[in-house]
Amino acid sequence: MSLGGFDVQVLRENGFATEEMTLNMGPQHPSTHGVLRFVVRADGEVMTEAVPDVGYLHRSIEKIAEKVGYHGFMPYTDRVDYVAAMPCNQGWAMVCEKLAGIEVPRRAEYCRVIACEFNRISSHLIAVGTMGMDIGAFTPFTHALREREHINDLLEELCGARLTFNYMRIGGVAWDLPPDFAEKGLAYIDRFEPLIDEYNALISFNKIYKERLINVAVITGEEAINYNLVGPNLRGSGVDFDVRRDIPYSIYPELQFDVPVGHGEEGTLGDCFDRYMVRIREIQESCKIIRQCLQQIPEGSVLAKIPRKFKPPVGDAYVRIESARGDMGWYCVSDGSEYPYRVKVRTGSFTATSIIEQVSRGLMIADLITVVASFDLVAPEIDR
């Protein structure tokens, strides 16, 4: 086994008595993106195993849904994935609408997509920013967070909160776009798009940075499908699948956008760099979507008439949406009462955690940080 010119096997044969050590990384660790623990068995710098230990952020959100009812659960969906809360809002609203067969006003669908795509940009900015910070480049993180602040300001004007939005309601959205939102949003997108190239020049094509990402934790397309990876992680392995395009929902079929897929531009297909670049490209695609939406948003109401005591008929529904972390599934069983009988949330981070044990075998300990950052894990989304 050879890694970076460092041959572990030779040292053993020369008579060194080595033994594997078990390290504990986390739960409180700045690079694990939340409360996530890894039990690492390492031979020197080289890991033989890294087992993720999840559950430190379990808040039984699915059970809470059974206690607070359909309307009251909306603020809790923000907490499922606080980095990208808008898609979670949309997932819950959509599953309730599917249960009760509610038609959402056109303007509300546009508001939802605009909010979701802004949130996707801010989530990906966190992902690519922390990627640099985990590897040791702090400056790009501040650049990414600076741009995210502007998106947070826009979303704050839209819904009054910067992180836990609680913007969507069953049957539409809570508030219409503020009067000058379209101009501000377009002005921001115009200013932001050239900054992506600046960001790429700053860090993405930096040789040292690339060396840390290329050919690390290679996942083939088949492996990604077997391990149920979703979203940018799946597309980084070259599998061309996006829920927004392939299982269309909301107004996405009417919008023009590409689905960026990794193609091994620097090293092997499916390495950390491919997953990273897919996110950078998705930011650009989201800018395209927002521009189209803000230009063609129709007039009208933003909320369908929904009774305050929302009682969907007996039955179950499952919706799939493309969250910032990929295919997110919302399943809800209704028994005809005011409270859902069962809610299940299927998230992308949880499935991405399962492959870490397999891909981290034989990597350096420092590369585990890269792997975790490249999957864009968000710990509350793993545990819910």
Applying CB under 8 A, the residues found at the interface with another protein are: 68-69, 71-76, 105, 107, 139, 146, 149, 156-161, 164, 166, 169, 171-176, 178, 198, 201-203, 205-208, 299-309, 311
Q: How far apart are CA 88 and CA 85, in angstroms?
A: 5
Nearest approach in angstroms of CB 305 to another protein is 5
Nearest approach in angstroms of CB 108 to another protein is 9
Nearest approach in angstroms of CB 301 to another protein is 4
Q: What would the DSSP string read from start to end of 50-86?
A: EEEE--TT---HHHHHHHHHHHHTHHHHHTTSSSSHH
How buried is 97 (Cβ within 10 angstroms: 0-12 exposed, 13-18 middle, 19+ buried)? Answer: buried
- Nearer to another protein by Cβ, of 38 and 73: the residue is 73
- Nearer to another protein by Cβ, of 214 and 225: the residue is 214
Nearest approach in angstroms of CB 312 to another protein is 12
- Nearer to another protein by Cβ, of 171 and 260: the residue is 171
60-66: long-range contacts at Cβ-Cβ below 8 A with a sequence spacing of 24 or more?
60/384, 61/345, 61/384, 62/342, 62/343, 62/344, 62/345, 62/384, 65/332, 65/339, 65/340, 65/343, 66/339, 66/340, 66/341, 66/342, 66/343
Local structure of 349: helix, strand or coil: helix
- Selection from 279, 183, 171, 180 nearest residue 234 by Cα: 279
Amino acid identity of residue 259, one-letter, is: V
CA atoms within 13 A on the CB side of 166: 10
- Nearer to another protein by Cβ, of 17 and 305: the residue is 305
Nearest approach in angstroms of CB 303 to another protein is 5
Distance (Å) of CA 106 to CA 167, 254, 257, 295, 303: 16, 12, 19, 14, 10
- Nearer to another protein by Cβ, of 39 and 306: the residue is 306
Nearest approach in angstroms of CB 244 to another protein is 25
Whether residue 253 is preceded by a cis peptide bond, meaning omega within 30 degrees of 0, is no
- Nearer to another protein by Cβ, of 104 and 356: the residue is 104
Between helix 365-375 and helix 106-135 the angle, nearest 10°, is 170
- Nearer to another protein by Cβ, of 175 and 331: the residue is 175
Q: How far apart are CA 64 and CA 344, in angstroms?
A: 11
Nearest approach in angstroms of CB 161 to another protein is 5
Nearest approach in angstroms of CB 11 to another protein is 25
- Nearer to another protein by Cβ, of 198 and 240: the residue is 198
